Amino acid sequence: MNKRSIRSFCIAACATLIVGCGSDEAQFDPVVFSAEWWNPMVTHIVERLELMPGERVFSVGDPQLHAELPELFAAAVEAAGGTYVGTLSAADGPYGPVRDTAFAERARSAAQAAIGADRAEYRELLRDVPVGIMLPGPRPDDPPYGAMQDLLWEQLGQHRTVHFHWAGAYTVEDLSYPIGSTAGAVPTDGDREASLYRRAILEEDFSDLRSRHDAFENAARAGEIHVTTPAGTDIRFRIEERPINRQDGDVSGARAAAGPILIDREIEFPAGGVRVAPIEESVRGIIVFPRSTWNGERVDDLQFVFEAGTIVSLNAAANLESVEAELAADGARAFREFGLGFNPLLAVPAENPWLPYFGYGAGVVRLSLGDNSEIGGSVEGDYVRWNFFLDASMSINNEIWVEDGRLVRF
């Protein structure tokens, strides 16, 4: 988090917001990022954890951002019958309310050990804490965050995390330009983003979202997915029995135990997207980037041709060498995943457009490259790149689901 973002959070905290969520809280204007503003979301998320009596919970945050969140989560967890053991920061050990003195002491020791990039002590610290909450600020490569990721792999089904990191806001230069992960998914730092995310959490109809995901799965398993764009993207693939990750707000222990892939244990708030790694051999066609950034350089009219899930040729108007340099990473030339956003509350706004929360909004299509092992694919490597398409059309067995960036199936 840079200093500008921190200052922006502080400025936003002085603003007010009218909330239209239909609750008693909607009758007044809580200060943005105040405890009153956060509290309904915190309560809502903890309810969806379906905690077992005494189940242990920790969070990872940044003491410089939203310092009120640890206390709010601690109170909500305890009200739900769980045990909140403490809050970890990326570099400075525990902070916030101390609920478990032994946990705090071990966390300080783990933080010292992690200075040398050794997160083994964090893994042992968190081994018997099955629930983690990722707050704004930390990154997956921060030691406590990374340690929980290690345990998600190592003890598949025994741990689960809430991704409440309040990130994934992308600027939109032109709706026809795909947005790549290199654009930088930073934590939201303004009233517009914050109010939209809050509403998307509090007003989401999770039962309806689950029904939409069910309908997609039933159709996609039996057919061929076809994605096109006005710029020339024309790619097809099948998913067959590949696992489908549903970001549907279910963070229960039962869901974590039953989920076949790692990201079934990393549940996002706001919710809305489905993600799947297609059968690699079925991926064929072309992806076109009218304008994009590769290896730090602008590239126009870039085209990838895929056969059996791998880029077999590419060309661009200029700076093709920058694309080649980025794609030199292990696994980078493989098709990674297909994603589709279903949440109408996160749709790209028609006026002053921007891309909310990692493309989970209705009609946003994700066509990604690289390692897909975390979502049940067979590609491994050191590279992942998300590519969000805001003007795509998508059909399944010739039935249109998305047209020019709008979800039309529902």
Both 219 and 358 in one domain: the answer is yes
Residue-wise pLDDT for 145-194, tens only, equals 999 999 999 987 899 999 998 888 898 999 999 999 876 666 676 788 88
Which of these three, 131, 163, 195, is where a domain ends? 163
pLDDT one digit per residue (tens) for the chain, 410 residues: 333 333 232 323 333 333 334 444 445 568 989 999 999 999 999 999 999 999 999 999 999 989 999 999 999 999 999 999 999 998 788 999 999 999 999 999 999 888 767 899 999 999 999 999 999 988 888 999 999 999 999 987 899 999 998 888 898 999 999 999 876 666 676 788 889 999 999 999 999 999 999 999 999 999 999 999 999 999 999 999 999 999 999 999 999 999 999 999 999 999 999 999 999 999 999 999 999 999 999 999 999 999 999 999 999 999 999 999 999 999 999 999 999 999 999 999 989 999 999 999 999 999 999 999 999 999 999 999 999 999 999 999 999 999 999 999 88
Residues in the chain: 410
Q: Encoding tokens for residue 126?
A: 């968190």
Owning domain of residue 206:
181-251+278-407
Per-residue model confidence as pLDDT tens digits over 353-389:
999 999 999 999 999 999 999 999 999 999 999 999 9
C-beta atoms surrounding 308 within 10 Å: 13
> For residues 63 and 59, what is the distance between their CA atoms, to the nearest angstrom?
12
Q: Would you give the distance in Å from CA 399 to the centre of its chain?
A: 28
> 143 with 236, same domain?
no
Q: With contact defined as beta carbons under 8 Å apart, do 122 and 136 qualify?
A: no
- Does residue 198 contact residue 37 with C-beta atoms inside 8 Å? yes
- Both 108 and 203 in one domain: the answer is no
Handedness of CA 196, 249, 157, 382 (dihedral sign): negative
> Is residue 346 in a domain?
yes
pLDDT of residue 191: 83
Same domain, 221 and 82: no
- Residue 155 is predicted with a pLDDT of 84
**Residues 17, 22, 25, 27, CA torsion sign:** positive
Task: Count up the domains in the chain and report the number.
Answer: 2
Co-location of 374 and 401 in the same domain: yes
| pLDDT of res. 400 | 98
Q: Could you tell me if residue 268 is inside a domain? A: no
Mean pLDDT of the chain: 90
Contacts of 114 (CB under 8 A, 6+ apart): 91, 121, 122, 143, 144
Distance between CA atoms of 214 and 246, rounded to whole angstroms? 9
To the nearest 5 percent, what fractions of the chain are helix, strand and coil? 30, 25, 40
pLDDT of 3: 32
| pLDDT for residue 187 | 67
Whether residue 213 is found in the same domain as residue 306: yes
Q: If you search the block for the tokens 């989920």, which residue do you land on?
A: 259
| Domain shared by 197 and 314, yes or no | yes
Show Cβ contacts of residue 190 under 8 Å, excluding neighbours closer than 6 positions: 8, 12
Contact assessment for residue 374 and residue 393, using Cβ atoms and an 8 Å cutoff: no
